[in-house]
Amino acid sequence: MRRSYKRNFDQIARIVADTAQFFSEHNIDDALRMKVDLSLEELFVNMVTYNTETDRDILLEMKPIDGGIEVSLTDYDVERFDPTLGGQVDIDAPLSERTPGGLGLYLVLKMADSIHYEYHDRTSKITFRNIKSGGGAG
């Protein structure tokens, strides 16, 4: 699957529907849905929120792999930002020190069985995999 989405949060519902259809068409284990939905949303929201220099669509690609799924999101006209280097959150901190910031990427890194970042010509591509019974959380 290869599909583009406008840069706004209303597109999340479309992404969820397209993901559900892809899972069904390719008989991908539904146990992976929550992880894939979460990682997709967090990465998409991150692109929409932090890259305001362009109105180009964000490209979503999915393909079935042995035991799971590979998902890529590509953003254009963007500065380099490697999400695999971030995502540090102290989940043991007391309530007074907790803030919502950073939780999204932290969860992506927690959920994915593998994640890869590419950057060239002001184009960012993030690819993650989720595999049934893989090493990701849960």
Partner 1 sequence: MFDIDFNEKGEVVVSGRLDAAHASRAQAFLDRVEGGCVVDMGSLEYISSAGLGVLLSTHKRLMSARQGLELVNVNPHINDIFRYSGFDKLFVIRLA
For the bound state, the minimum distance from the C-beta of residue 110 to partner 1, rounded and expressed in Å, comes to 5
Distance between CA 28 and CA 104 in Å, rounded? Answer: 24
Residues pairing with 3 in the sheet: 60
Question: Is the Cβ of residue 44 or residue 76 nearer to partner 1 in the bound state?
Answer: 44
For the bound state, the minimum distance from the C-beta of residue 55 to partner 1, rounded and expressed in Å, comes to 19
Question: Is the Cβ of residue 55 or residue 92 nearer to partner 1 in the bound state?
Answer: 92
For the bound state, the minimum distance from the C-beta of residue 118 to partner 1, rounded and expressed in Å, comes to 24
For residue 113, which of 123, 128, 98, 127 has the smallest C-alpha distance?
128
Positions in the binding site for partner 1 (CB under 8 A): 9-10, 12-13, 16, 34, 37-38, 41-42, 45, 89-93, 95-96, 98-100, 103-104, 106-107, 110-111, 137-138
Question: Is the Cβ of residue 52 or residue 120 nearer to partner 1 in the bound state?
Answer: 52
38: tokens are 């979460």
Residues pairing with 53 in the sheet: none
Whether 15 contacts 4, CB under 8 Å: no
